[in-house]
Amino acid sequence: MSARYDRAITVFSPDGHLFQVEYAMEAVRKAYTAVGVRGKDVIVLGVEKKSTVKLQDPRTVRKIHMLDDHICVAFAGLTADARVLVNRARVECQSFKLNLEDPVTVDYITRYIAEIQQKYTQSGGVRPFGISTLVIGFDPDGTPQLYQTDPAGTFSAWKAQATGRNAKTVREFLEKNYSEEETADDEKTIKLAMKALLEVVESGSKNIEIAVMRRNEPLEILSDERVDEFVKQIEAEREAAEASNQ
Amino acid sequence: LVAFVLVTNQSSPQFCCIAGDAGRVAMDNLIGFVGKDYVLIASDTTTRHSIVVVKDDEDKTIQLDSHKLLALSGEQGDRVQFGEFIAKNIALNTLRSGIQMSTHAAANFTRGELAHFLRQSPYFVNILLAGYDNDVGPSLYFMDYLSSMHKMDKAGHGYGSYFILSTLDRLWKPGMSLDEGLKLMGACIQEIKTRLVINSPRYLVKVIDKDGVRIITPPKN
C-alpha cells in the first residue's frame, strides 16, 4: 500500500525551483486578503469577506479561528486546507498544555504549523497546503506577537503583514504608515488595520471582518455596527485631509 | 478492612488497606447534591501514602470549563492524569465547535473514556461531575471506576458516602436554596468527621450556578 505513495509530487526543477510550492503560493495570491497589525497592547486581524452570496449563512464562514484561549489564526488560501491545519494546531495546543502545564507560545505553535507545511513539500503522495497563515497571540510574558507562515513552510515574525490577493498593495501601505505612534493604542491599531485593508477592499461591514486580540481577554470579533462606525470615521478623516490639502 | 498494620515474621511490617488497594477501596471522600439552581460539591483535601499524610490541601477537583466541575477520588496518579486528560479534550472540543458542551455531553464523554480504558489500562477513579446549563439547570453525574454512570440529585464516594447518603436521604429535599444547601453540606461533613475513623480535617466545597464555579464555605455548626 505504501509503495503506491512513495513517489514525491514536489520535486526540484533543473533550475532549482519547487514548482508545486510556487503553484501553492499562486493559489494563496488568488485568495481573499488577510492583514495583521501588531500594536502596543493589542493585535488586530482583518480579512476580506465574500459579499456576493445571498443564500449562505455568514456565521458559518469563519476565516479567523481560535487555536487556544490566547492564540488566534487567520489565513489566505484554500479553506479546506486551513481547516486541516487549524485542527492539528488545536490538538497540539491542548497536548502541549497537558504535558507541560503551560500554554504554547505564539512562536512554538507557528513553528509547529510551519513544520507541517514543510513536511507536505517533502513527502510522498501529498501536495503542499495552499494557505498562508497569520498567527497572532500574546506570549506568557505579555508581548504581543504576529507571525506568518507560507506553503513552503517558512515562518517569521512581523510588525504588520498582509497575505492573499493585493497583499503587495496592502503591505506597501503598511510600510508607509506603520509606526509606534500609529499603533500606540487599541483604536489606532484597529484603524490602521482597517485602512490598510480598505486600500484593496470595497468599504463596508459586508466586505470585511475585524478581530481584536487583547491580553488575557477572549478574542473580540467586531460587530458590523462597530466596523461601520470605524469605516465612517476613516472616510471622514480622509475627506478632511483632502479638504485641507486643497 | 481498614487501618490495621499486620506484623509478619518478615523484616518489615505489611501495611494493609489504609490507602486502599489501588483506589478500589477509596479513602477520598466526595459529596455532591443538587439544589434549586446550583450544585454543591465537597471533596476532602488529604493525600495519604500508607500511614503518612503527604498533603492536606489537595484540590481533588478539576474545572472543565466555566460551568463544569469534575471531582475525582481514588488512585492519585490516575486521578490527576485522567482528570487533566478529560479537561484538555473538553477544551479542544470547545475550540473546535465554538460552543461549550452540555453537562450531559461532558459526562457521557468522560464515561466513554473510562469505559474505553477499562479493558486496556483501567483508571481507578470514582467521579462526581457537576455542571450548570442554562436550559437544563444544575445537574450531577455519579460515575465509578467500572464506568457506570447515573444522573443523581445526591451522591457520594468513599467511606464517608456510607454515612452521608443516609444523612442526605433524611435531610435533602428538592429545590433547596443555597443557604439551606450549605447548612446541609456542613451537616454531612460533620457527620463524616464524627463517625469515620480515618478522616480529613478539611473539606473543599465548591458551588456551580449560573455565575460559574467558585469556592464556598459551609457554616460551622
Does the beta carbon of A68 lie under 8 angstroms from any beta carbon of chain B?
yes
What is the tens place of the pLDDT at every residue in A144-179? 999 999 999 999 999 999 999 999 999 999 999 999
Residue type, B131: G
ipTM of the complex in this document: 0.81
Which is nearest to A133 in space by CA: A102, A111, A166? A111
- In Å, how far is A35's CA from the nearest CA of chain B? 23
What is the tens place of the pLDDT at every residue in B104-140? 999 999 999 999 999 999 999 999 999 999 999 999 9
Does the beta carbon of B88 lie under 8 angstroms from any beta carbon of chain A?
yes
Helix/strand/coil percentages in chain A, nearest 5: 40, 25, 35
Nearest CA in chain B to A101: B84
Strands B203-209 and B39-44: antiparallel
Does the beta carbon of A159 lie under 8 angstroms from any beta carbon of chain B?
no
Measured in residues, chain B has a length of 221
| pLDDT tens series, chain B, 221 aa | 233 333 334 444 333 333 344 444 556 999 999 999 999 999 999 998 888 899 999 999 999 999 999 999 998 899 999 999 999 999 999 999 989 999 999 999 999 999 999 999 999 999 999 999 999 999 999 999 999 999 999 999 999 999 999 999 999 999 999 999 999 999 999 999 999 988 788 999 999 999 999 999 998 76
Tracing cell 485602512 back to the chain, one arrives at A195
CB pair distance less than 8 Å for B88 and A67: no
pTM (2 d.p.): 0.85
Q: Cα separation of B33 and B174, whole Å? A: 10
| Cα A118 off chain centre by | 18
Q: Which of B84, B95, B96 sits opposite A98 (nearest CB)?
A: B84
- In Å, how far is A94's CA from the nearest CA of chain B? 6
Does the beta carbon of B99 lie under 8 angstroms from any beta carbon of chain A?
no
CB pair distance less than 8 Å for A90 and B84: no
Q: Cα separation of A72 and A68, whole Å? A: 7
Which is nearest to A165 in space by CA: A25, A3, A23? A25
- In Å, how far is A90's CA from the nearest CA of chain B? 7
